[in-house]
Structures are given as C-alpha cells and as structure tokens.
Amino acid sequence: METMTTLTSPAEFTIQRPNYSHTSAIRWVFSHVIRHNWVIVMVFLGAFGNAALAALVPVLVGDAFNAMLQPMPDTRALIPLALLIGGTQVIRGILQLGRNFGAELLGQRLEAEIRDELYISLLGKSMTFHSLQPVGDTMARATNDVREINLMFNPGMNLVIGSFFFLVMPIVAAPRYHPALLITPVLFAIAYFASLARYLKTLQPISDEVRASFGNMNSHLSESLDGVETVKGAAQEDSEVERFVLNAKRVRDAFIKQGDIEARFIAFLLYGIAIALGLTHALFLFREGLLNTGQVIAYFGLLRMLDFPTFTSSWAYTQVSMGLAGARRILELINRETDLDQNAAGHSAEMKGEIEFRNVTFTYPDTERAQRVSDSGESVLNSVSFKVKPGQTVAVVGQTGAGKTSLVKLINRTYDINDGQVLVDGMDVREWNLASLRSQISMIEQDIFLFSRSISENIAFGRPGATQDEVEAAGKAAQAHDFIETFEKGYETVIGERGVTLSGGQRQRLALGRAFMTDPRILILDDSTSAIDSATEDKIQRAISAAARGRTTFIITHRLSQIRWADLIIVLRKGRVAAMGTHDELMQTSDAYSRIFQE
C-alpha cells in the first residue's frame, strides 16, 4: 500500500501525493525512483545482460583462435561459434534497447512527477515567500533543473549502471583462465573508484555553482523583460546589457571550471596502464605455459571492456552531478518554510460578513522587503481595533504608508498577524479552513493581474464552469460589456500577458467583473478605481454600490465620492486608528481625516 501525504507542511494549499522523503537530495530522488520498480528491474536486467553477452564475445573469439591453431585446424567449429556470437549479439541488442527504453521512461516519469510536485509546492507557499523569491530563479529551477534530473537518469545513470557491469565482467570472467589474471581488473577497479570519488567530491561545488549562476542569470533576464518599459523609459538598455553580459560570463566561467575538472580526471590514464599491465601479465603467463594463445586473446578482449566505463565516466558522472545539483536546488525550494497553513480541518461555513479586529499588531518579516514597507523597522499596524457589521461598507483612508493595504490583507490571511485577533463571523481567521475563507472573500487591487487568456476566461476565473450568459451579466455589472463588444471576437478576445493590451481602466473593470462573478460575502477594493476616467466614474460607482449591497465591503480610495457613502470610515495614521465614524462626523471631529482632503 502506497503511503500518501501532503507535499508541504505547513502550506496554504495542499494535495494528497505519494510520501516522498525530503531529508536530502539523494533520498528525495530515490523516493521517486523506488515507485517504478519494474522499470528499475528492466534497466538492471538490460544492463547486466548487455555486459554479460558482451563479455561472451572475446571468450568465444578465444575459443575460435584455439580451434584454428590446432595442428589440424577444425574449421567446422567456427560455424557454431559464429552463429552463437551472432545470436547472442542480437539478444544483447534487444536487452540494450530495453535498458535504454527503461532509463528514458524513468527519466521522463521523474521529470513529470518532480515538476508536478514543485508546482503544487509553489502554489502552497505564502505571499511572503513569493515576494522574496525571484521569479526568474524559480523558473530556472522548474525548467532547467528539473530537466537535469531527467538527464541524470538518461543518459547519466543509464551509462553509469551499464559501465558498472562492464567493469565487473572482466573480474568475473578472468579467473576461468588463471586466478592471477584477477590482479589487473581488480587493481583497476580500486583505482577507478578511488579517483572517481575524488572527482565527484571536487565536481559537486562546481556543479552547484553552474546551476546557481544560471539561476541568477535567468532572474536578471526575467526582471529586465518584466520591467522593459521602465528600462526603455530611463534609456538604460546599455547598462542592462552590461549586467546581463556579466551574469552570462559567470555562467561561462562556471562551465569552464567544470570542464577543467573533467579534463583532470585520470580514468583514461588508468585504462592505458591497465591494458599495458594486463597484456604484459598475460604474455608472461603464456611464456610460462600457463595460458594458450586463445586465452591470451580472450583475456585481452575482456580487458578492452574497461574502455566503456572509462570513456563514459567523464561525462556520465558529470551529468549525475549536475542532476543532483539541480535536485538540491529544487528540494531547497520545496522545503522552504511557509508562514501559513491550510488548516484543512478548520471551520468551513457560509459567511455572514461580520469582521472584527482586536488589538491587531502586524510586522512584515525581517527582510529587505520589510524594510521597504516600514523604513523605521516598526510594526506596520499597531493595536488596531474595530468591528464591522455584516453588509456594511467600510472606507479605509490614510496617507501613503499608513498600513491600509496591509490591514485588508490580514482578513483573507495573505499574511498572518503577530499579535491580537482578526475575526470573521466571531471566529479567528486562523481557525477557518483557508480555502473556505478565501473563496468567500474577493480582493481587487490597484495592480490588476489578468491572464493571457480570453476575456471570458478571465472574468470566470473564480467560476470556471460559469455560462456565457453569467459572464456577460458580470461584464455588464462592471460596466465592461460595451468596450468588450468593440473587439472583433468580443468575450473570446485573448488579451496579452497581464492584460497589457488593455488600458488601466479596462483592466480594472474586468477585475470588477471577476469579483461579481464569484459573488463573495466580503469584497475588498484596494484603490481599484484609480485608473477610471471621470466619465465612467458614475457608472462604476453605481456598479460598486450594487455589488456592495448585501455584502461587507472594504474600500481603500482617495476618491471623496466613494468615501462619502461608506457606513464606516477608518482613518489610519502611522499604523494606528486615528479616527472612526461617518464622513460628516469625521469632518467635524478629526483633523487627520480633514487634512487628507486638503492635501
């Protein structure tokens, strides 16, 4: 029975998967491999049969020489020997095909499994993780490093296993002629594995450097392309090219170091010495009358089998080392701790929409990003307390950096608080099942993200099974239907990545449509109408008012027209609640609130 477990613990998103070991790269890869028992058997049987039948050829050739060197040569003996050689090599070819097929099948399966595991793990990471982890480096690990694991098995481990049996066969077959003939292949094997251990130990840090430098180069490339508008706007193409060339040079230098170590591997020297010593030893025994001509030829043919492990070792083991380096990078990403857990057994129910903050204090993790959020290093939110009834509309206002966005992101547990409590319907959000909590909360941010898919698919993202009529109804409610119909393909128009083919106002109206489609109990609008022109503002305002009816709504905005009709206005100042009340009340009682509209 296959043990099942979750991929990461804790994690925001989990799925039942086979129980893989995450203690070390080798154990992790092995825990994947061991699930494919019959493929492993195919590879080993193919490799053993291939080597055994390859060793049979010099033995039979030696017998053929002895038959022809008799005082009365028996040519009739050559026909069965020739047929036997031909037949065994046909079988050997079939076994080699099975070995290669098994290794390729294993490599492809592992690549698919590991990519799947990594993708699910990345979905389970918290926003803190994704805010700090460079996208380019993640893509390098998810593509090139995963591919290196595939190549580690074919041709890497495929040739390693095959060469091992080629190394063993001379040791197994040589004593049939004379026990002393074991000396050369045994000494070669000892020297070979000793030099190989030293080679791999030296190669490991270089392999890690190669993969890391490639990840850094990819990170810079991704960042430059993502911010190409900024680069061009500042006329910094030359400086960005110089940075990329520098990163590419580091990748090149790492590969050169790897090549230098490969060139220093002494397996070829050991092979030459083994051939010379082995043949000399055999000739000495021949002169003493302990071997005949056919046995010398057969032994020399067995020694020639050592050329396969010799010639493949310099790059087969390099491929294994590169695969393990990639595995270490992938496993490090999978094992990276995340701050939130899914709480699959937590509370799951239909929300009413009551929200309460009780002495909430929140600070971002101690990172460079945290310092950018809060330059003083102090808490972003301090002792924040308020209560919102179901169906109320709340406007959160304050100067830039007051903590408005941080506050609303605590409701759906994008981040977890450091102290205090955030309650939804009287229950701490940490006690809710995370999927149930988030499925009933919709947040529209100023920086709208749209997928490179059709407009219809973007609107229905939260409800993939929605009908076309439902999609169009959401588009009309968000005041997006009219501009969508101006496109040639209407709702089936495929927009560019992140919606770059649309204006800011169009993107935000599609995001509103996406929110309307999910019918959330709590709606959060984080400055989501900032890019809407004044001609459209009244329509959008009516759409938002209709959407807010019957659900709890948080609005972060500087538009007085949206703030005025809020049931409750929360004024934040340096992470603290400076005032609360309606617009009319605050205009009379709060200097902090009135200053916002005077600036």
- Give the count of domains, the chain: 2
Pick the last residue of a domain from 278, 312, 335. 335
Pick left, alpha or beta for residue 493 (phi over 0 → left; psi -120 to 50 → alpha; otherwise beta): beta
| Mean pLDDT value across the chain | 82
Q: Which residues neighbour 353 within 8 Å (Cβ) at sequence distance 6 or greater?
A: 388, 390, 391, 424, 425, 521, 522, 551, 552
**Are 1 and 115 contacting, i.e. CB atoms less than 8 angstroms apart?**
no
Q: Which residues neighbour 170 within 8 Å (Cβ) at sequence distance 6 or greater?
A: 55, 185, 302, 303, 305, 306
The per-residue pLDDT for 105 is 93
Report d(CA 23, CA 335) in Å as an integer. Answer: 9
**Are 36 and 106 contacting, i.e. CB atoms less than 8 angstroms apart?**
yes
Pick the last residue of a domain from 292, 312, 335. 335
The per-residue pLDDT for 366 is 58
pLDDT average, residue stretch 479-492: 85
Q: Which band of pLDDT confidence, cut at 50, 70 and 90, is reported for residue 498?
A: low
pLDDT average, residue stretch 245-261: 86
Is residue 487 in some structural domain? Answer: no
Instruction: Tell me the pLDDT tens digit for each residue of 223-235.
Output: 777 677 667 766 7
Instruction: Tell me the pLDDT tens digit for each residue of 270-329.
Output: 999 999 999 999 999 999 889 898 899 999 999 999 999 888 877 888 888 888 888 988
Residues 172 and 305 in one domain: yes
CATH number at 104 reads 1.20.1560.10
CB atoms within 10 A of CB 158: 24
Residues 188 and 257 in one domain: yes
Residues 115 and 171 in one domain: yes
Which has the minimum average pLDDT: 248-257, 354-363, 476-485? 476-485
Is residue 266 in some structural domain? Answer: yes
Report d(CA 514, CA 108) in Å as an integer. Answer: 38
Residues 187 and 203 in one domain: yes
Is residue 470 in some structural domain? Answer: no
User: Among 218, 204, 248, which residue's Cα sits nearest to residue 143?
Assistant: 218
- Bridge partner list, 443: 524
The per-residue pLDDT for 533 is 58
pLDDT average, residue stretch 503-514: 79
Is residue 357 in some structural domain? Answer: yes
Residues 325 and 353 in one domain: no
The per-residue pLDDT for 333 is 86
Instruction: Tell me the pLDDT tens digit for each residue of 381-428.
Output: 999 999 999 988 898 988 878 888 889 989 988 888 889 999 999 999
pLDDT average, residue stretch 172-196: 91
Q: Does position 7 have pLDDT exceeding 70, yes or no?
A: no
CB atoms within 10 A of CB 420: 17
Is residue 463 in some structural domain? Answer: no
The per-residue pLDDT for 453 is 84
The per-residue pLDDT for 375 is 45
More confident residue, 461 or 599: 461
The per-residue pLDDT for 369 is 44
The per-residue pLDDT for 9 is 40
Report d(CA 43, CA 124) in Å as an integer. Answer: 35
Kindly tell me the burial class for residue 230, based on how many C-beta atoms sit within 10 Å of its own C-beta (0-12, 13-18, 19 or more). exposed
Largest CA distance in the chain: 126
Report d(CA 512, CA 529) in Å as an integer. Answer: 9
Is residue 289 in some structural domain? Answer: yes
Q: Which residues neighbour 381 within 8 Å (Cβ) at sequence distance 6 or greater?
A: 360, 361, 362, 403, 406, 407, 410, 575, 576
Q: Does position 159 have pLDDT exceeding 60, yes or no?
A: yes
Q: Which band of pLDDT confidence, cut at 50, 70 and 90, is reported for residue 371?
A: very low
Instruction: Tell me the pLDDT tens digit for each residue of 79-122.
Output: 888 888 899 899 999 999 999 999 999 999 999 999 888 888 88
Q: Does position 447 have pLDDT exceeding 80, yes or no?
A: no
The per-residue pLDDT for 10 is 45
Domain that holds residue 222: 8-335
User: Among 397, 438, 319, 357, which residue's Cα sits nearest to residue 583?
Assistant: 397
Residues 432 and 315 in one domain: no
pLDDT average, residue stretch 523-548: 66
The per-residue pLDDT for 340 is 65
The per-residue pLDDT for 285 is 92
The per-residue pLDDT for 47 is 92
Report d(CA 529, CA 508) in Å as an integer. Answer: 7
Is residue 378 in some structural domain? Answer: yes
Which tokens belong to 230?
């900024």
The per-residue pLDDT for 480 is 82
Is residue 67 in some structural domain? Answer: yes
User: Among 239, 237, 241, 248, which residue's Cα sits nearest to residue 215?
Assistant: 248
Which tokens belong to 549?
């009816």
More confident residue, 282 or 262: 282
Residues 36 and 116 in one domain: yes
The pLDDT > 90 percentage for the chain reads 20
Q: Which band of pLDDT confidence, cut at 50, 70 and 90, is reported for residue 3?
A: very low
The per-residue pLDDT for 6 is 44
Pick the last residue of a domain from 286, 305, 335. 335
Residues 326 and 355 in one domain: no
Q: Which residues neighbour 320 within 8 Å (Cβ) at sequence distance 6 or greater?
A: 152, 156, 157, 160
Residues 413 and 264 in one domain: no
Residues 413 and 328 in one domain: no
Q: Which band of pLDDT confidence, cut at 50, 70 and 90, is reported for residue 16?
A: low
Supply the angle between the helices 183-226 and 293-304 in degrees, to the nearest 10: 20
Residues 264 and 349 in one domain: no
- The three-state secondary structure class of 70 is coil
The per-residue pLDDT for 376 is 45
pLDDT average, residue stretch 253-263: 84
The per-residue pLDDT for 421 is 92
Residues 88 and 227 in one domain: yes
pLDDT average, residue stretch 138-166: 88
Q: Does position 58 have pLDDT exceeding 50, yes or no?
A: yes
pLDDT average, residue stretch 534-549: 65
The H or E element spanning position 524 is strand 522-526
Report d(CA 545, CA 176) in Å as an integer. Answer: 93
CATH number at 571 reads 3.40.50.300
